Structure 1
Amino acid sequence: MVRQWLGRAALFSLLLLAGCGFHLRGDTQLSPLLERTYLQGVVPYSDLGVGLKRSLEAYGVTVTSVPAEASAILSVTYNQLQRQVLSVGATGKVQEYALKYVLQFQVTNPKGEILLPSQQLELMREYQFDERSVLSAGEQEALLREVLQEEMVQQILWRLEALPPTLNG
């Protein structure tokens, strides 16, 4: 009886989702304008540089080290990850920090025509600081920095997916 009810509920849910036009994203493609991309303002072996290169290549983009060979230039104009004090205890010692990551980028073609106007992205994560466990707090901060870098790469890719297939289009 319960199994039959669950089956009907699942079928009804699927019909509702299909009826409203919902579908999974599936494979997404980046614009052919990004076919050969040069990364400007990014240290190649930094976490951001490695993450961007790897992710772009997973989309079939060739990341070139020579700007003249590029069909697009992804310029990171601002890139800062900083720690801010969020709360202080009664003894004046820090209890909570926030990691704030701000990045600004734009995409142009080699002629300087803007393909994607300047975008500013901000991510923030908070964490508790326990002075009795400084080592684990340091590990927690390092892990959060890594997570923020990965999320920033994903945010950039989502914006790149919005590029039209052609400059006029």
Structure 2
Amino acid sequence: MSHWLGRTLLLSLLFLVGCGFHLRGGSELSPLLNQTYLQGVAPYSQLGIGLKRRLEAHGITVTSVPEEATALLSITYNQLQRQVLSVESTGKVQEYALKYVLQFQVINSKGEVLLPSQRLELMRQYLFDQSSVISAGEQEKLLRETLQNDMVQQILWRLEALPPPHVDES
């Protein structure tokens, strides 16, 4: 039985390789971003720290001097808000939603738009337990951190879509 299982696995693997399937490797960001300045985000905020770390992990230098930058990642809107989703018959809140909206664009050192304005929205819902306000507060704090980490990932996915620099063939 294990002999047939081994052959089946080997045959499946050969089919996958034959059709061009491969595991997704690390993604690369455009060389246009080699020296990036972050505008509109506090450098020591969770979003600022997360963006800096993730960009540096991709080999991008995040500069604190705009004049040194080859690209400017500009956060033009950054809002994290809590909304009431449902209430009990007594008027007490039962459920909240955290909504995170961020808008950004990328321009080069000449002021040319590399990535037009992108609007990103993320939302998470959570139940509010009146009997345990402290744990509900911790839950909200954890969700805020998760949303900000997810937003950093969303921004990086958009940056991965940047085309490589245009090369003149003169």
TM class by shorter chain equals over 0.9
Q: In structure 2, how many angstroms separate the alpha carbons of the residues matched to 1:9 and 1:81?
A: 50
Question: Is the 8 Å Cα contact of residues 115 and 167 (structure 1) preserved in structure 2?
Answer: no
Who is 2:85 aligned against? Answer: 86
87 and 119 in structure 1: CA distance in 2 versus 1, 3 angstrom threshold: same
87 and 31 in structure 1: CA distance in 2 versus 1, 3 angstrom threshold: same
Offset at 1:21? 2.8
Question: Is the 8 Å Cα contact of residues 40 and 74 (structure 1) preserved in structure 2?
Answer: yes
Offset at 1:168? 6.6
Report the count of equivalent residues: 168
What's the % identity of the aligned pairs? 76
Q: In structure 2, how many angstroms separate the alpha carbons of the residues matched to 1:6 and 1:129?
A: 50
Secondary structure (helix, strand or coil) at the match of 1:30 reads coil
**One-letter code aligned to 1:152:** M
Question: Is the 8 Å Cα contact of residues 33 and 167 (structure 1) preserved in structure 2?
Answer: no
**One-letter code aligned to 1:31:** S
Q: In structure 2, how many angstroms separate the alpha carbons of the residues matched to 1:20 and 1:90?
A: 58
Offset at 1:5? 4.6
Who is 1:135 aligned against? Answer: 134
Q: In structure 1, how many angstroms separate the alpha carbons of the residues matched to 2:87 and 2:46?
A: 31
Who is 2:20 aligned against? Answer: 21
Who is 1:59 aligned against? Answer: 58
Q: Deviations over 1:28-71 (max 9, x none)?
A: 21111000000000101000000001111111111111111100
Runs of 4+ off more than 6 Å: none
Secondary structure (helix, strand or coil) at the match of 1:151 reads helix
165 and 87 in structure 1: CA distance in 2 versus 1, 3 angstrom threshold: same
**One-letter code aligned to 1:155:** Q
Q: In structure 1, how many angstroms separate the alpha carbons of the residues matched to 2:8 and 2:124?
A: 38
Who is 1:149 aligned against? Answer: 148
Who is 1:75 aligned against? Answer: 74
Q: In structure 2, how many angstroms separate the alpha carbons of the residues matched to 1:121 and 1:105?
A: 9
Q: In structure 1, how many angstroms separate the alpha carbons of the residues matched to 2:12 and 2:121?
A: 36
Q: In structure 2, how many angstroms separate the alpha carbons of the residues matched to 1:41 and 1:29?
A: 24
Normalising by structure 2, we get a TM-score of 0.92
Question: Is the 8 Å Cα contact of residues 97 and 129 (structure 1) preserved in structure 2?
Answer: yes
Secondary structure (helix, strand or coil) at the match of 1:48 reads helix
Q: In structure 2, how many angstroms separate the alpha carbons of the residues matched to 1:104 and 1:97?
A: 23
Q: In structure 2, how many angstroms separate the alpha carbons of the residues matched to 1:150 and 1:36?
A: 22
72 and 30 in structure 1: CA distance in 2 versus 1, 3 angstrom threshold: same
